[in-house]
Amino acid sequence: MWEKTTDAKTSHFHMNSFRKRTNGNAYYSPGVDRFFAVDSLDPYSSLEIAQILSSKVPGIAVCLLAVDDLWFDNETAHQHTLKDKNVFAVGASILFSRQMPTVRKFPPNSVIKVDQPSEDFKDGNNATAFQALQEYARFVIQAYHASKIANMYFNSLPMEEYARELLAGQVPAEFETPVDNINGSLKTGVHREITKILYTSNDSTEALERINVMWRENNTPLTLYWRAQFYNLLDVPLPAEFSNGQFNLERYSGYIL
């Protein structure tokens, strides 16, 4: 019974349909009553992205939309809202649920198109703030995926993850369990540090500056290609300070075996 692929029930939660759909996962703000961004990859990542954005906006609902529901993209997300707003998640309406986001799969035709902005977000500070949210959310989505993919490629020794997830209770407390093997001063791990930066930064400029600082302070042989791929996937030029390929050898043991 485990031979299923696209006919498995779980596959219905992956809505990108092989790059054909822009809004498999749509980010909805109950407070604004509008969608503000879309994503089309896996729902687990969308939830984590929503968690990052929860530092700015409470109650984000990650809506897994049906294939035949209205299509929209990042440019038009704010022109759409949920038809049924009284969605319950773990015992409470998503509007009043909690700071942390919610993921729900929605029935067909859950989205409706609206011509006007939400009443309290038509102009003034709120309109400006909503526009900033849209811009930052788009950046976070891209930065998160770039970081996650780069981590997947280069973190070949996720020791902390294994210790925490797979060997819980079986690793001596005093054991060193590095998050990755960059061998820099960073203890949280590259991907986790980037998500932390995204969580607490106010805009993409601030976040990119802080990410640059992280790479600079952890400029080891093993971050050389890691950061190159991160910037490449993010589709921004490698910062000039890293273009010479030099790295800090202070903590480097060399491949001495």
Partner 1 sequence: MSIQLNETLYFSSINFNGVHNDFWTACYNETGEGGKFAIDLARRLNPNRYVTRDSSEWTNPWPQEIIPKYAMVPYDSSFKLNFSEVSDLKALDFKARINSKNERFAMMYSGGIDSTTMVVALLKNLTVQELKNVSICTSIPAIVENPVFWEKFIYGKFEIIDSMANKYHDLITRGYTPVTADDGDCIFGTVFGIGLYHNWEVVANKAGFTEARKAEIRAIMPRFSDPEVHYTQFADLLTAYFSIPPDQKFPIVGQAVPNPKFGKLLYDKFARNAQTATVPINSLHDFFWWLIFNVKMLNCGVRGALYYNDHIEPERAIHAIENWYNDPLYQNWSMNNNNNGTKIGHTAATYKQAARDYIYEFDRNPWYRSFKLKLESMALNVVRQDIQLDSSMGRPTSRFGITKDYKLITLEQPDVQEYIRHHLNNFQITWSE
Contact between 2 and partner 1 per CB under 8 A:
no
Q: What's the closest the beta carbon of residue 155 comes to partner 1, in angstroms?
A: 13
∠ CA(64), CA(68), CA(69), 5° rounding? Answer: 55
Distance, CA of 190 to CA of 88 (rounded, Å): 36
Judge whether 223 and 215 are in contact, CB under 8 Å. yes
Q: Is 221 in the site for partner 1 (CB under 8 A)?
A: yes
Q: Which residues contact 224 (CB under 8 A, 6 or more apart)?
A: 245, 247
- Near partner 1 by CB under 8 A, which window of 32-40, 76-84, 102-110, 244-252? 244-252
Contact 28, 114 (CB under 8 A): no
Bridge partners of 63, per DSSP, are: 26, 104
Task: Give the span between the Cα atoms of 179 and 158, in whole angstroms.
Answer: 5
Site for partner 1 in 144-163 (CB under 8 A): 157, 159, 162-163
Print the binding letters for residues 170-199 with partner 1: x by CB under 8 A, - otherwise: xxx-xxxxx--x-x----------------
Q: Tell me how far, at minimum, the Cβ of 26 lies from partner 1, in Å.
A: 38
Mode of pairing for the β-strands spanning 80-82 and 111-113: antiparallel
Per-residue binder mask for partner 1 (CB under 8 A), 103-142, x = binder = ----------------------------------------
What is the number of other CB atoms lying within 10 angstroms of the CB of residue 16?
15
Binding to partner 1, residues 71-100 (CB under 8 A): none
Q: Smallest gap, in angstroms, from Cβ of residue 65 to partner 1?
A: 38
Q: Which is nearer to partner 1, 7 or 250 (CB)?
A: 250
Q: Identify the three-state secondary structure at position 1.
A: coil
CB of 188 to partner 1, least distance (A): 16
31 binds partner 1 (CB under 8 A): no
Strand 61-64 vs strand 25-29: parallel, antiparallel, or unpaired? antiparallel
Q: Which stretch binds partner 1 (CB under 8 A): 115-123, 147-155, 169-177, 225-233?
A: 169-177
Strand (E) or helix (H) holding 146? helix 124-154
Residues at the interface with partner 1 (CB under 8 A): 157, 159, 162-163, 166-167, 170-172, 174-178, 181, 183, 221, 249-257
